[in-house]
């Protein structure tokens, strides 16, 4: 069956969390350019609205809504809003996430609770909300979540962050098995060193341990990249575009690295 035949005439709808800036904004814009209607979400309502406006200004279709993905009810409300405003949900991209630079001996209960609440809880709650809606719609769907190269290899000074990203891989594999009967695929993407505000924060945090100045830790870590350059948000968005497309219909339970060749397995 042709792609047009599979998609029919109804516009596919994507929800993208953490889409107010960085990788999430690039993903939302790329999916809109691919022809999807996009519900843009971020804990920062203002930046979510800015991304949605950029999409509509370019001729796409988008709405925005603020949501804290650590709040399960907010995730369900987000999916409900996408169905109400855009007509359904076909793709869920759980991109929202946080990082924190600390040694494992310094991590506090509050640090761990916050890290897991956003990076793991946010993925699980969005997965639940999206899957429930997709099963009800009866046309399958794609659930895509943000892991990291730190979900394949634990990094010093980022131990609890690494643990949260390993957990995303576990959820991805388990959900892929559970949701396959409903024609819902579940995959993750694992970026490396991306030129975003989050990596600026990591660079600053690492500097306190490594004795490096602004930009120096990022430069040191970037020497690990085989392709010789820091990746852009658009590099990640291009791969998510594939995962969201029908070209990836036979792919599920996977968490490939899109990192320029830092971690190779």
Query: Which active-site residues does the annotation give?
Result: 161
Say how many C-beta atoms besides its own lie within 10 A of residue 198's C-beta: 17
Rounded Cα gap, residues 70 and 84, in angstroms: 22
CA–CA distance, 46 with 20 (Å, rounded to integer): 8
CB atoms within 10 A of CB 250: 7
d(CA 175, CA 116): 18
Which residues, 6 or more positions from 95, have their beta carbon under 8 angstroms from its beta carbon?
A: 16, 17, 18, 19, 23, 24, 27, 145, 146
CA quadruple 79, 84, 89, 93: dihedral, nearest 10: -40
Q: CA-CA distance, 129 to 110, in Å (whole number)?
A: 26
Measuring CA to CA, which residue among 102, 203, 209 is closest to residue 159? 102
Spell out the residues 6+ positions from residue 178 whose beta carbon is closer than 8 angstroms to its own: none
Cβ pair 74, 68 in contact under 8 A: yes
Distance from the first to the final alpha carbon of the chain: 35
């Amino acid at each position: 069956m042709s792609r047009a035949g599979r998609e029919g005439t109804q516009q596919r709808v994507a929800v993208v969390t953490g889409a107010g800036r960085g990788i999430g904004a690039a993903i939302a814009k790329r999916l809109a350019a691919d022809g999807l209607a996009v519900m843009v979400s971020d804990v920062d309502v203002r930046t979510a609205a800015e991304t949605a406006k950029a999409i509509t200004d370019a001729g796409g279709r988008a709405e925005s809504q603020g949501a804290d993905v650590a709040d399960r009810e907010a995730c369900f409300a987000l999916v409900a809003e996408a169905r109400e405003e855009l007509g359904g949900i076909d793709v869920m991209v759980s991109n929202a996430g946080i990082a924190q630079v600390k040694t494992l001996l310094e991590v506090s209960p509050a640090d761990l609770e916050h890290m897991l609440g956003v990076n793991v809880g946010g993925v699980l709650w969005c997965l639940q909300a999206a899957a429930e809606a997709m099963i009800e719609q009866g046309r399958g769907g794609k659930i895509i979540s943000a892991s990291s190269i730190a979900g394949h290899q634990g990094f010093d000074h980022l131990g609890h962050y690494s643990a949260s990203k390993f957990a995303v891989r576990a959820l991805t594999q388990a959900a892929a098995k559970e949701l396959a009967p409903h024609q819902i695929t579940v995959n993750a993407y694992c970026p490396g060193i991306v030129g975003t505000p989050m990596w600026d924060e990591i660079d600053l945090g690492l500097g306190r341990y490594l004795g490096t100045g602004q930009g120096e830790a990022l430069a040191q870590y970037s020497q690990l990249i085989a392709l010789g350059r820091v990746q852009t948000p658009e590099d990640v968005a291009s791969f998510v575009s594939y995962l969201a497309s029908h070209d990836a219909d036979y792919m599920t339970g996977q968490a490939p690295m899109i990192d320029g060749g830092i971690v190779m397995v």
